[in-house]
């Protein structure tokens, strides 16, 4: 369900967040010992691309996607990926991996001189298509989630997949309003980084 306008209190249990809907993914593992979880990494995804409201993203992250169900899915056959969180168009929040664990969302990536963002980032997927716009409930849930992460972990920065894997990834894309997210988080102390990482 979408988060209510009167937002509930965030409750963490072993890296799982209430009131997110939990759907554990097998595509995860331990973070390197002593790693500070200090980055929120924003992505976008829809399956098939540009089609919203399907169950395919959940199926992809839980290794239950039928590659024969749609021609596009054939290229995803055998792919093992996940993100910690998924925010649907209506603002509903799903969680697939404990934030204490390492989800498989960033691939080859680099942020502020550190490789392998999966080690220290929380991956947040927005239901959408790179370059296209996102819905107001998604921004509200994303801002709430970033504050909840900040309260539990030493998260200090927020950036996009396109910024940590330039040329390889392009999400969330030009349709995502970083200025809107910055406005929603203006009093949080969180830093939004939109420079492409070398």
- Catalytic residue IDs: 125
Strand partners of residue 57: none
121 vs 118: CA distance, rounded Å: 5
∠ Cα 193 49 182 (to 5°): 20
Helices first, then strands: H and E counts in the chain:
4, 13
Q: Estimate the share of the chain in helix, then strand, then coil, as percent rounded to the nearest 5.
A: 20, 25, 55
63: burial class by Cβ within 10 Å (0-12, 13-18, 19+)? Answer: middle
Q: Which two tokens stand for residue 57?
A: 């993203």
Q: In whole angstroms, give the CA distance from residue 23 to residue 53.
A: 16
CB 118 within 8 A of CB 81: no
């Amino acid at each position: 369900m979408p988060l209510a306008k009167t937002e509930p209190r965030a409750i963490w249990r072993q890296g799982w967040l209430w009131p997110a809907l939990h759907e554990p993914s097998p595509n995860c593992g331990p973070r390197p010992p002593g790693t500070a979880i200090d980055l929120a990494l924003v992505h976008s995804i829809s399956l098939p691309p540009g089609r919203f409201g399907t169950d395919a993203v959940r199926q992809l992250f839980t290794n239950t996607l039928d590659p024969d169900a749609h021609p596009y899915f054939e290229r995803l056959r055998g792919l093992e990926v996940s993100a910690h969180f998924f925010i649907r168009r209506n603002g509903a929040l799903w969680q697939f991996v404990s934030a204490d664990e390492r989800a498989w969302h960033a691939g080859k990536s680099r942020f502020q001189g550190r490789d392998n963002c999966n080690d220290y980032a929380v991956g947040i997927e927005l239901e959408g298509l790179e370059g296209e716009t996102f819905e107001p409930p998604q921004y509200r849930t994303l801002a709430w989630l970033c504050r909840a992460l900040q309260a539990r972990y030493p998260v200090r920065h927020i950036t996009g997949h396109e910024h940590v894997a330039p040329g390889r990834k392009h999400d969330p894309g030009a349709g995502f309003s970083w200025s809107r997210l910055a406005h929603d988080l203006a009093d949080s102390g969180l830093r939004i980084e939109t420079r492409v990482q070398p």
